[in-house]
Amino acid sequence: AQSVSQHNHHVILSEAASLELGCNYSYGGTVNLFWYVQYPGQHLQLLLKYFSGDPLVKGIKGFEAEFIKSKFSFNLRKPSVQWSDTAEYFCAVNAKSGYSTLTFGKGTMLLVSP
Amino acid sequence: DAGVIQSPRHEVTEMGQEVTLRCKPISGHNSLFWYRQTMMRGLELLIYFNNNVPIDDSGMPEDRFSAKMPNASFSTLKIQPSEPRDSAVYFCASSTTSGSPHEQYFGPGTRLTVT
């Protein structure tokens, strides 16, 4: 079974600061990788995803993530955060083989101060 | 596309009462998932269906929880009897096994409060 670890539970940044949220997964086979975002009081929305090809994927709102297979990592980045990026961010993984459910990390709460 | 629809959006009930949460997946999606989100435990998968058949219900906490999917466009999650520790936000999500596999689309959630 796969597992996902998000290293930071809470991150506080000032506007215009750069962001990097860590995500590591554990699984012996090939995987699909996702980042979801949950704005306060709202449901989870897909931010970006990696299935195959270029390991650097770009998502909505200026976010990007890089899949580093050797490190089992899929860190989320944004060069300059905005107050509106305040939200909880979830990394998720599932196995490519067959059909498997998503395994979510515990989430990282990002607070951006204006 | 209307997205995943859940009802009610908020539910407040007393301990011991039966609670039924409803979900309508995106049309054409053949997989449906029920999740529970709490501060303490994060996002937990309770059960998922593929083509209306329950595939894995190992996340269902107790026999008080049950879920059904009588057809491709409707699912229910029932708690009977409810307890205060069931208070959480319950999300329904759907996906398709064709096209972009495994990407799940979430509904707005039902915030359940059991007093």
CB contact under 8 A, B103 and A49: yes
Q: Which residues of B79-109 are buried (b: 16+ CB within 10 A; e: fewer)?
A: beebeeebbbbbbbbbbbeeeeebbbbbbbb
* A32/B97 CB distance under 8 A: no
What pLDDT is recorded for position B40?
Answer: 85
Please judge whether B97 and A107 are an interchain contact, meaning their C-beta atoms are less than 8 angstroms apart. Answer: no
Q: Does the CB of A102 have a partner CB in chain B at under 8 Å?
A: yes
Is B43 in Cβ contact with A101 (below 8 Å)? no
pLDDT in tens, A90-102: 999 987 766 667 8
Sequence-ordered list of residues with C-beta below 8 angstroms from that of A52, at least 6 positions apart, any chain: none
Q: Are A59 and A65 contacting, i.e. CB atoms less than 8 angstroms apart?
A: yes
Lowest-confidence segment of A13-17, A43-47, B9-13, B97-101 by average pLDDT = B97-101
pLDDT single digits (tens) A26-62: 987 888 999 999 999 888 999 999 988 999 999 999 9
CA distance A15 to chain B (A): 26
The per-residue pLDDT for range B61-107, each reduced to its tens digit, is 889 999 999 999 999 999 999 999 999 999 999 998 765 557 889 99
